[in-house]
Amino acid sequence: MPLLVVGSVALDCVETPTDKRDDVLGGSAVFFSYAASFFSRVRMIGAVGEDWPQQHTALLNRRGIDTSGIQAIAGEKTFRWRGRYLPNMNDRETIEVHLNVLEKFQPQLNETHRNCRFLFLGNASPKVQLQVLDQAKGAELTVADTMDLWINIQRDDLGELLRRVDGLVLNDSEAKLLAGDENLVRAGHAVRAMGPKFVVIKKGEHGAMFFSEHEMYVMPAYPTALVLDPTGAGDSFAGGMMGHLAALGRFDAQALKEALAYGVVTASFTVEDFSLDRLEGISRHDLDQRLAVYRKMLAF
């Protein structure tokens, strides 16, 4: 079942305590799509500038991702982010952000996009996310990401978004900010009470928590000895999760739990190298194999 993602396409500059990369492929829609492509067909909507290297699009196409929704805007530059990871490799600081083409981007869905039954709204302003939601008439499962910026400056629009989406995926610090509560269990329930049927709190190296009306659980991150670059872990997590749901064509409690586990496992590969480098070297079989190890790890 095709899965639609609307989000950022970026050129990232990443610094870690031991290494760095300039102008590598990044962005929420890119990590999400690549991760989801191991599970289902994916269609992407995003915008790039004149500086966009065509080989990046080719890389996505080789995974069968429909990139016809990536608009190249004349006279504009691609979104750029520069970040630096602290020695713990979990916390980071943003050094530079240049919205560039994203400043005025208003996603337009064509007929094929509108008919997608599974929709992921990557982090963007709630106003833009609502515009996409208005167009996505065929979407049966809608899940959104958000960030602290929108919680702080577009609270009302975010509130409307939360009343309209089925699921929300956000970081632990964002959940605390949105709920005004330092306890993640209470914060998760409070955010869910704002509208979505389920909430997933991403805790970075500490895994993820799930909240629905009748369920609450926590899943640890898959422990990996090799963390080279955590950038995109959260979006790959969401991609693995939504990809699995789209493949199943359902989103009951059991499907959601298994989907979260696939999200955890997919993200654990992403962090093992910069950009998409690690994901490029694996197959669906590697994901299934690590899922089996993860399942055994949690059984006692």
| Cα three-residue angle 42-45-47, rounded to 5 degrees | 140
Relative to beta strand 216-219, strand 208-212 is: antiparallel
Q: Residue 85 CB, nearest distance to its own copies (Å)?
A: 10
- Cα 269 to Cα 4, 41, 167, 286: the distances in Å are 22, 20, 24, 9
- Which of 60, 209, 276, 279 binds its own copies (CB under 8 A)? It is 209
- Which of 74, 106, 180, 299 binds its own copies (CB under 8 A)? It is 299
Judged by CB under 8 A, the chain residues 65 through 124 that form the site for its own copies are: 87-89
Rounded to the nearest angstrom, the gap between the alpha carbon of residue 12 and the centroid of all alpha carbons in its chain is 16
Q: Which of these segments, 97-105, 112-120, 138-146, 256-264, binds its own copies (CB under 8 A)?
A: 256-264
- Which of 260, 265, 279, 287 binds its own copies (CB under 8 A)? It is 260
Q: Are 133 and 164 in contact (CB under 8 A)?
A: yes
Q: Closer to its own copies by CB, 90 or 115: give it.
A: 90
Q: Residue 207 CB, nearest distance to its own copies (Å)?
A: 6
Q: What count of other Cβ atoms lies within 10 Å of the Cβ of residue 65? A: 22
- Which of 41, 63, 164, 189 binds its own copies (CB under 8 A)? It is 189
Residue 282: both structure tokens together? 């694996």
Per-residue burial over 264-277, b if 16 or more Cβ lie within 10 Å, else e, is: bbbbbbbbbbbbbe
Q: Closer to its own copies by CB, 189 or 197: give it.
A: 189
Q: Residue 159 CB, nearest distance to its own copies (Å)?
A: 23
Q: Closer to its own copies by CB, 26 or 207: give it.
A: 207
206 touches its own copies (CB under 8 A): yes
- Cα 239 to Cα 151, 245, 255: the distances in Å are 23, 10, 15
Q: How many residues bind its own copies (CB under 8 A)?
A: 35
Three-class SS state of 120:
strand
Residue numbers of the site for its own copies (CB under 8 A)?
Answer: 87-89, 182-186, 189, 203, 205-207, 209, 216-221, 223-227, 254, 257-258, 260-261, 295, 297-300
